[in-house]
């Protein structure tokens, strides 16, 4: 029998059948009134219905009645389930940025981000997906092998640190930066034409 790592338990996706670490999946639960709702925090009561973190997988689960089969009862997914999951994941990521800012683990703006990159202080780099191509290309070149995340609009990044708009951002090493990468990888499956480069 295969033993699983205690620090990274696995679950099976009810659509693909793939067994993956929980941090790469989305948990849903059935509410008391029989509605399937997302539980991206993994804290709601009830048996988890696990899905690979991808919009097409969630949509397939809704279209093919996978939730009812997995729950062994008639249930109905909430309207706009994939959109709701995306919104919750965005909220989690932006909240983490806010927490890192308060602890001094975030730098933003092109020049400051470039400075941190040159000094080797960055572990993760963000570039707004609606930023100018030349600025994003320059940051990409400076980032080297570091993860470059382009999942958020400049307004979203700015709002996370109390600004109107931001295009470039860097994270210092730490547990919250690692947590952010996990959440960003889950979000990647719900935002089209974006990438998380590793």
Is residue 45 located within the same domain as residue 111? Answer: no
Confidence band of 7 (pLDDT split at 50, 70, 90): low
- For residue 192, pLDDT over 80 is answered with no
Residues 92 and 37 in one domain: no
Give residue 101's pLDDT.
95
**What CATH number corresponds to the domain at position 28?**
3.30.1230.10
CA 52 vs. chain centroid, Å, equals 12
Q: What local confidence, expressed as pLDDT, does residue 166 receive?
A: 94
Sign of CA dihedral 149, 151, 152, 153: positive
């Amino acid at each position: 029998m295969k033993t699983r790592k205690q620090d990274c338990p696995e679950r099976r996706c009810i659509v693909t059948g793939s067994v993956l670490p929980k941090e790469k999946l989305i948990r849903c639960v059935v509410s008391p009134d029989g509605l399937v709702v997302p539980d991206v925090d993994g804290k709601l009561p009830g048996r988890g219905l696990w899905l690979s973190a991808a919009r097409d997988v969630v949509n397939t689960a809704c279209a093919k009645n996978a939730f009812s089969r997995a729950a062994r009862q008639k249930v109905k997914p909430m309207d706009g389930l994939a959109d709701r999951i995306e919104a919750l994941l965005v909220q989690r990521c932006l909240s983490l940025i806010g927490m890192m800012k308060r602890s001094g683990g975030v730098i933003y703006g092109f020049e400051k981000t470039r400075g941190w990159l040159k000094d080797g202080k960055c572990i993760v780099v963000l570039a707004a997906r609606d930023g100018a191509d030349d600025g994003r290309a320059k940051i990409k070149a400076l980032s080297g092998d570091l993860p470059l995340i382009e999942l958020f609009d400049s307004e979203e990044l700015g709002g996370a640190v109390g600004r109107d708009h931001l295009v470039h951002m860097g994270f210092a090493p730490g547990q919250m930066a690692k947590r952010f990468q996990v959440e960003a990888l889950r979000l990647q499956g719900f935002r089209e034409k974006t990438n998380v480069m590793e």
